[in-house]
Structure 1
């Protein structure tokens, strides 16, 4: 295989990317990073105002989508292909972590199902939709947002969230293996706690829970969305050409720690 020289400031030049959950947090930071590296970015989000604002910022296209709805997902990915003629990168990032997803003893079935639909079923639907265009091209990069909680147990439980992210991780491995010889890479991003509006909202309501989590991070702080965006950009780029079916962990050392340093 011939390795071409890469301009690190334009690693994604000529690439077309779609990002779900791009209206805020990691998705928004990644949209900015992708655009800075030369990609054409399609912003997919349920929140029309937030999604359109990001699309305007990065000079991309906004599509409103409920990622748990098959018809809407299929239509969104079809729109990408109709507008740009290719689909090179799919960052399946949309997810929720509602307050009623807690211990298995208190989390009722409707709360469980809603999280599964948005966090896990959506990755199935979006990966399936992306592959319809990537397989004929014989190239593409799919990055699915899992979590460090897919790798270890949490005493501050979000039972459906944890289960959904474990499913994302397992599905990603299988897809990465299955489509490797068709030029398509599929990787799971496993962030540690990230300083996003979702986490801020959760921890504002329960500062004790926030402190219990923060104390276990060897780096001593939560990640910034831009730090995750840098990892996603790497996985999307040809710099990661030999990386597939991987658990790409960006967690400040939390999953490797027995105790944190003094």
Structure 2
């Protein structure tokens, strides 16, 4: 089990996002935290949020200890349109605009179709994985246009492309498949405004929640590793480095694309 969790390329200082304001959701843990920390290290003015106020504050404190600054609005429930708008207003008031939007926050329920409750599992997952992206994109769209364009980074999943035997991920697959399709449409709508929109599709990434889940289900963990050419679970930094490229001017000719950062899971 321990060999499945290996370190990625660590966060490094740089200037690749110098002068940009990046709005990053879900900074309390996992991919959101990884992106927020790397972006701050690379010179961005990072504005974050999380529904878990304690987790968000720990990220802010950790960044401060390392000499970086992350502003955060927490708690913030992005499933509420008013809260999504409040987050964008917070970023604009703090830094005058938004150049990058990273929709990392998400939550979902996992159950087989015969056992899935419509309201508390199916609909809650679609809200937490699909609506949450739509609401913040809609709220941030005018700010991105006012800036003359920018980069939006959404997160689908390897589950949007394949089914993993033994994983009851029906609602998750539907939500992330929707994100993938919505991103392509947003790229088309944003092109006239200079807004680029791309998707990163990770396989299993280690977070506090996924670590507990996989350690409790060694058979499922074995199936996951069997799908990964890299033979290790992803780390938040693995995803954050790809997000850094998409947030930077280096990716100026990249939009409407999907980046399967998944250890080779969907390549076979």
TM-score, normalised by the number of residues in structure 2: 0.89
Distance 1:46 1:66 in 2: 5
Partner deviation per Cα, 1:148-190 (whole Å, 9 max, x = no partner): 1111123222111110000010000100111112111001110
Unpaired segments of 5 or more residues in structure 1?
1-7, 258-262
Tell me the SS of whatever aligns to 2:54. helix
Tell me the SS of whatever aligns to 2:192. helix
Tell me the SS of whatever aligns to 1:90. strand
Equivalent in the alignment of 1:102: 111
Tell me the SS of whatever aligns to 2:260. strand
Distance 1:201 1:169 in 2: 27
Question: Is 1:123 aligned to 2:141, yes or no?
Answer: no
Partner deviation per Cα, 1:65-107 (whole Å, 9 max, x = no partner): 1111111111111111011101001100111243xx2211211
Equivalent in the alignment of 1:3: none
Q: Which region of structure 1 is more displaced relative to structure 2, 30-39 or 209-218?
A: 209-218
Question: Is 1:225 aligned to 2:236, yes or no?
Answer: yes
Q: Which region of structure 1 is more displaced relative to structure 2, 57-66 or 139-148?
A: 57-66
Unpaired segments of 5 or more residues in structure 2?
1-12
Residue 36 of structure 1: how far off its partner (Å): 1.0
Distance 2:212 2:186 in 1: 33
Note if contact 1:140-1:184 (Cα within 8 Å) is conserved in structure 2: yes
Question: Is 1:46 aligned to 2:47, yes or no?
Answer: no
Note if contact 2:36-2:70 (Cα within 8 Å) is conserved in structure 1: no
Tell me the SS of whatever aligns to 1:62. strand
Residue 212 of structure 1: how far off its partner (Å): 1.3
Match of 2:88 among 77, 81, 89: 77
Residue 227 of structure 1: how far off its partner (Å): 0.9
Note if contact 1:70-1:125 (Cα within 8 Å) is conserved in structure 2: yes
Note if contact 2:234-2:263 (Cα within 8 Å) is conserved in structure 1: yes
Partner deviation per Cα, 1:42-84 (whole Å, 9 max, x = no partner): 1110011111121232412110211111111111111110111
Distance 1:117 1:134 in 2: 24
Distance 2:146 2:24 in 1: 21
Question: Is 1:206 aligned to 2:217, yes or no?
Answer: yes
Q: Which region of structure 1 is more displaced relative to structure 2, 227-236 or 175-184?
A: 175-184
Partner deviation per Cα, 1:101-126 (whole Å, 9 max, x = no partner): 22112111121111111111000001
Equivalent in the alignment of 1:136: 146
Distance 2:153 2:256 in 1: 10
Note if contact 1:42-1:55 (Cα within 8 Å) is conserved in structure 2: no
Higher relative contact order (CA 8 A, sep 6+): 2
CA RMSD, 1 decimal: 1.3
Question: Is 1:37 aligned to 2:33, yes or no?
Answer: no
Equivalent in the alignment of 1:238: 249
Tell me the SS of whatever aligns to 2:201. strand
Match of 2:33 among 3, 28, 36: 28
Q: Which region of structure 1 is more displaced relative to structure 2, 49-58 or 84-93?
A: 49-58
Distance 1:254 1:188 in 2: 16
Segments ≥4 residues shifted beyond 4 Å: none
Distance 1:84 1:233 in 2: 20
Distance 2:28 2:55 in 1: 5
Tell me the SS of whatever aligns to 1:255. coil
Distance 1:32 1:198 in 2: 19
TM-score, normalised by the number of residues in structure 1: 0.91
